[in-house]
Amino acid sequence: MAGSNQRGLVRRILRGLAVLWGSFTLVFLIFTAVPDPARQLAGQQADAEVIADLQSRFGLNLPVHERYVNMLSNLMPLGTDVDGNWGWRWPSLGESFVRPEGVVELLLSAFPGTALLAISALLLAVILGLPMGLIAAKRPGGWFDRIVVGGSVIGMSAPSFFMAVLMGYVFSVQWGAWTGLPLTGSLYDLDSQGQEVVAWRNLILPALTLGIRPLSVLAQLMRGSALDVLAAPHVRTARAFGASESEVLLRHVLRNALNPVLTSASGWLAQLLAGAVFVEFVFGWRGLGFLLFDALEQQDLPVVMGGVLFVSLVFVTVNALTDLAYRWLDPRAAQA
């Protein structure tokens, strides 16, 4: 049993590394088709010496295969450091084309804002979606069930950028005097003395907007899963022994119905981290999405490549943690 678990762990690690390698290779090949980045950075009227200097500085004058090998080797945790010593080192994603910082520093400084936004949106979806789906399953076909099903269809079909514009227009532009919510703003604002202060109200609109789609999906999944569990023999047995309806829902239905919901929620966390670009841009929320959007506008390819690889790493990590949680909820999965 222990050997099987170890082999399963090794397989998951290898699959995760394969996903990261594939993501890196795909993005690298896409960006090799981009016209000369050095000319784009220097401007169309720049002379040949300036362009050649930029190409040499960022290694753009090397053959494609050599650039690929160099960038891939920089990601390895084993190699030579800046002093030429061999050993463990921090992976490097290179330097930004337009900013003085390294790519890793830029990503790490932007990621907390996106993580806070994504976790807030997912918590909102879980806190509202699970009880909504459970209550809807309790009385299928009732008025609340119809509201949940209809609202979920609308929430799943609405694009994020459209909902961001709509939410901003309604709750900030039209009802701003009543809600007090700003249209744009990040986690930190400046007070009257010019000091940085935490502005939690700036988080409300982007979190609500980003959480609409996962809320709709989780409510639908919870409803369908709860309906299946309610028809199971052990639920009928519990009712025959006199268990109340609330006890049946909380003790016998909720935990058994959580497996597909948990899998979806974990996948949504990674998707929210990757898909917050439009929401962050509309609401001016300074995070990873805002950074990548700005990098795309300025053709800052190392930042874009690093951001894609970083999101892939988050995706692999979240999926691995989900697998562990799934095995805890269903011990039979550990024997598979």
Model confidence over 150-175: pLDDT tens digits?
Answer: 888 888 888 877 888 888 889 988 88
**Structure tokens, 212:** 């609409």
Which of 13-17, 172-176, 240-244, 278-282 shows the lowest per-residue confidence on average (mean pLDDT)?
Answer: 240-244
Q: How far apart are alpha carbons 39 and 61 in whole angstroms?
A: 12
Picking from 107, 125, 81, the residue whose alpha carbon sits closest to that of residue 214 is 125
What integer pLDDT is reported at residue 6 of this predicted model?
62
Q: How far apart are alpha carbons 233 and 28 in whole angstroms?
A: 53
In angstroms, how far is CA 187 from the centroid of its own chain?
18
Q: How many CB atoms lie within 10 A of CB 34?
A: 10
Among 28-42, 138-152, 253-267, top mean pLDDT goes to: 138-152
Say if strands 196-198 and 188-190 run parallel, antiparallel, or are unpaired. Answer: antiparallel
Band (69; pLDDT cuts 50, 70, 90): confident
Band (79; pLDDT cuts 50, 70, 90): low
What integer pLDDT is reported at residue 1 of this predicted model?
45
Mean pLDDT of 291-309: 83
What integer pLDDT is reported at residue 274 of this predicted model?
66
Among 13-27, 33-47, 85-99, 270-284, top mean pLDDT goes to: 13-27
So where are the chain's domains?
A: 39-90, 110-335
Instruction: Outline where the chain has alpha helix (H).
Output: 2-32, 37-42, 48-57, 64-74, 103-138, 143-157, 160-168, 176-179, 201-230, 233-240, 245-247, 254-274, 277-283, 288-297, 301-329
Model confidence over 184-239: pLDDT tens digits?
Answer: 888 877 777 777 788 888 899 999 998 898 889 888 888 888 888 777 777 677 76
Q: How far apart are alpha carbons 283 and 270 in whole angstroms?
A: 20
Picking from 277, 325, 262, the residue whose alpha carbon sits closest to that of residue 118 is 277
Q: How far apart are alpha carbons 250 and 209 in whole angstroms?
A: 29
Q: How far apart are alpha carbons 182 and 176 in whole angstroms?
A: 7
Band (80; pLDDT cuts 50, 70, 90): low
Helix (H, G, I), strand (E, B) or coil at 188: strand
Model confidence over 265-282: pLDDT tens digits?
Answer: 766 777 777 667 778 888
Across the chain, mean pLDDT equals 78
Q: How far apart are alpha carbons 141 and 115 in whole angstroms?
A: 37
What are 79's strand-pairing partners?
87
Residue 214 · residue 243 · CB < 8 Å: no
Q: How far apart are alpha carbons 200 and 110 in whole angstroms?
A: 17
Entry pTM:
0.75
Q: How far apart are alpha carbons 80 and 83 in whole angstroms?
A: 7
Rg of the chain (C-alpha set):
25
Q: Kindly report the CATH number that applies to the domain delimited by 110-335.
A: 1.10.3720.10
